[in-house]
Structure 1
Amino acid sequence: MYSSSLLPLSVASSSASLLPNDFFTRISQFMLFDSSSADNEEELKKLDEKIAYAEENLGESEVHEAHLAKALYFIRISDKEKALEQLLLTEGKTISVSQKMDLVFYTLQLAFFYMDFDLVSKNIDKAKKLFEEGGDWERKNRLKVYEGLYCMATRNFNKAASLFLDSISTFTTYEIFPYETLIFYTVLTSIITLDRVSLKQKVVDAPEILTVLGKIPFLSEFLNSWYECQYKAFFSAFAGMAEQIKLDRYLYPHFRFYMREVRTVVYSQFLESYKSVTVEAMAKAFGVSVDFIDQELSRFIAAGKLHCKIDKVAGVVETNRPDAKNTLYQATIKQGDFLLNRIQKLSRVIDL
């Protein structure tokens, strides 16, 4: 599984992916530090001395570097609050927009490490404001990956897919996860958000994705079997992908939701080819039992996810796709009624 190799200490190595056990081992290693230990007190004293010396004798660049070194040390010993305080203090000693952006990236790494998505959101907004003052394309592209990860972790899969796709050819954000993980996230988010034509152009035929796809277990089968309508192979790969998603710290909280969305997409694609189809034929196509398909379809129909109905007596599934013009007409009527009610309420207030 290509789990996120996000570390609180700044830049990880390039393309080597961390297994889940390695990832949590590193977390535990950081947590072993005691911020009140004698060794840490001694190290902090040295850093304070370097800061004092830089402020008295050196220039702005050296002062910035001295304060940053202390902030990174707090990150290393997993003292979140002091690290954030020191990063803000370092920002006050920083003039360059690029250096301020780097401080935001350090804060984002720390926020993702602690799954503090409120802090992530605030710093993404802060980074965008900094870019209005200037900033290079490399940092802008890095921010897309951070924002895409935030969107995915907060269940905004549509925006996450768009940001990940934009980042494929410019990816340099190895400090939060390797390139293979970006492809993993891109395929997973795209398959439930893009239409079939867009998925073909941006994902299935994308050279950058094709070079990595085979390195990630089950991912190639998962994507290609879905696109090629090989539903039995898709369900087989789907089971393997489910185990990988369970191991991902950002996708696991949305595991049940994502599983439902994937099944909705694949059932909709299958039924789109038929006006009616027997439940038995559908079960055979997916390599599952008739009872399983019956229960699955009943659940999704009741939730309004699938536009079809089951004739239990005949054992047939009949599709009833909504007419787009009729749907728009009904929405217009509903909005019109809502507007009239608001106007009536307003008129009563004016009369008073």
Structure 2
Amino acid sequence: MPEDVVLPIPNLALPQSLFVLSKPHLSHLHDNARKELLEGIKADQMAPYYRSVTAANALPADAALLEEMEAANTAELARLDTQLEEAEKMEGESDIADALQARANHFTRIGDKERAVEAQNLALEKTAGMGSRIEIVLTLVRIGFFFGDFDMISKNLAQAEELIEKGGDWDRRNRLKVYRGVHLLSIRQFKRGGELLLDALSTFTATELLSYNDFAAYTIIANVLTLKRVDLKKKLIESSDIIQVLPELPTLADLMKNLYDSHYDKFFLALATLEQTHLIPSRLLSPHTRFYVREMRILAYSQLLESYRSLTLDSLARSFGVSEEFVDNELSRFIASGRLHCTIDKVHGIVETNRPPLKSAQYETVIRQGDILLNAVQRLSKVLY
């Protein structure tokens, strides 16, 4: 296999379909997910994966289909084993490495995790070319994504980074940014993950991991939350790479434009739509839905409150298109947790901002972090002495 050909294996659309089928509240998406899952399994003859999927009752078991796929898997493995034997007898080390990699890719394609990982690691040991070694490690990362194995993802991302530092080319460096960015989003590190995705926006080639539209959606979702207002316009709203996909991502277009333009009632509607269409149904983002929606609301409230010393609850509620009771309850929670710097005068129906001076805020941060450090040192000293 030429080094510049990246096989899209395993098919990462399938665990997304399986995730949807595992959620009863996404029943309106089940028919399409079931169809895509079965078609993907048939296309790659994924007998081992089909067995696990039917065992979980995500698809009805079809004994004839399973038998047909297992026969195809056995025949293909026999062919690859013969190819490997011939390479070991007649060919050089590079041909043996290619045969090992082809065998590993077979197990990866059909969704046999244990044999795929073992075979990929063996191929890695026998492969000399730096580019091919990096590709094998990135394939192991994708296997980790496919099966939701975070330890495997972290371990192989670190290994890929080491290899790329030793001799990775421009394309693989950029693809690694996407892999790392997606992983960081999956563990709720939106700021660093968003930075990496944004950095790879104009050079995206990691189509074996996700489609460009999904990549653009993740880039917008992460960076709307973390970018400053001036950067939001410069790096997202006015980005030609983002502009070209916005017609296919109307909810995300509404979200960032209405936040930037301070149309908070429309922003809240877009956020609610985003929650239902992009967050809850997403295998990657679903665990972080409540966190993301809360943080986006805090961001919008903060942005509005920064413009005023005080404003009435009524005007605040009208700005967001919600009731006074809703705003009162939500602001109370965020104020109590220290996320919003304001007070509510319930008698007069007024919200007054009380942002601490910058130096005072920095001083409080230093004191708080200093206390944490001192406590850690004290605990360590007890262990050592």
Match of 1:217 among 241, 246, 250: 250
Instruction: Give a deviation string over 1:35-92, Cα, whole Å, max 9, x none.
Output: 9945433332221111010111123332222111111111222110100000011111
Equivalent pair of 1:10/1:106 in contact (CA under 8 Å): no
- Once the two structures are TM-superposed, the CA of residue 199 in structure 1 deviates from its matched residue by 1.3
- Uncovered stretches (5+) of structure 1, i.e. residues with no partner: 1-5, 13-18
The aligned residue for residue 78 of structure 1 is 111
2:327 to 281, 290, 293: 293
Aligned-partner Cα distance in 1 for 2:104–2:377: 57
Within 5 A, what are the aligned runs for 1:56-135? 56-135=89-168
* Closer, same or farther: CA 228–336 of 1 in aligned 2, 3 Å: closer
The 5 Å alignment of 1:269-308 reads 269-308=303-342
**Matched-pair contact (CA < 8 Å) for 2:225–2:299:** yes
Matched residue SS, 2:280: helix
Distance 1:23 1:123, change over 3 A: farther
Question: Structure 2 vs 1, CA of residues 328 and 75 (structure 1 numbering), >3 Å: closer, same or farther?
Answer: same
The residue number in structure 1 matching 2:10 is 9
Q: How does 1:194-205 map to 2 (within 5 A)?
A: 194-205=227-238
Quickly say closer, same or farther: Cα 1:153–1:347, change in 2 above 3 A: closer
Partners of 1:40 and 1:344 lie apart in 2 by: 60
Alpha carbons 1:309, 1:320 under 8 Å: kept: yes
Deviations 1:232-262, CA, capped at 9 Å, x for gaps: 1111211211112111110011111111111
Mean Cα displacement is larger for which, 39-48 or 313-322? 39-48
Give the TM-score taking structure 1 as reference length. Answer: 0.88
Letter in 2 for 1:83: A
- AA aligned to 2:171 is E
TM-score (norm 2): 0.81
- The match for 1:41 is 74
Instruction: Give the alignment partner of residue 147 of structure 1, picking from 180, 185, 202.
Output: 180
Deviation at 1:197, TM superposition (A): 1.4
- Name the count of aligned residue pairs: 340
The whole-number CA distance in structure 1 between the counterparts of 2:189 and 2:378 is: 37
**Is 2:107–2:115's contact at 8 Å kept on the other side of the alignment?**
yes
Shift of 1:106: 1.1
Pairing partner for 2:201 from 168, 180, 190: 168
User: Could you say if the C-alpha distance between residues 25 and 225 of structure 1 is closer, same or farther in structure 2, counting changes exceeding 3 Å?
Assistant: farther
**Alignment pair present for 1:232 and 2:283:** no
Structure 2 SS opposite 1:310: strand
Structure 2 CA distance for partners of 1:80 and 1:336, relative to 1, 3 Å:
closer
- 1:213 Cα offset (Å): 1.4
Closer, same or farther: CA 11–65 of 1 in aligned 2, 3 Å: farther
Q: Could you say what secondary structure the match of 2:188 adopts?
A: coil
Residue 268 (structure 1) aligned to one of 293, 302, 305: 302
Tell me: CA distance 1:120–1:321, structure 2 relative to 1, closer, same or farther (3 Å): same
Higher relative contact order (CA 8 A, sep 6+): 1
Percent sequence identity over aligned pairs: 42
Instruction: Please state whether the residue corresponding to 1:229 is helix, strand or coil.
Output: coil
Q: Would you say the 8 A contact 2:11–2:40 is kept in 1?
A: no
For residues 216 and 341 of structure 2, what CA distance do their matches in structure 1 show?
Answer: 32
Unaligned stretches of 5+ residues in structure 2: 1-6, 14-28, 52-65
Q: Tell me how far 1:103 sits from its aligned partner.
A: 0.4
User: Helix, strand or coil for the counterpart of 2:127?
Assistant: coil
Indicate if the aligned counterparts of 1:7 and 1:109 stay in contact, CA closer than 8 A: no
Question: Would you say the 8 A contact 1:218–1:237 is kept in 2?
Answer: yes
What residue is the counterpart of 2:226 in the other structure?
A: 193
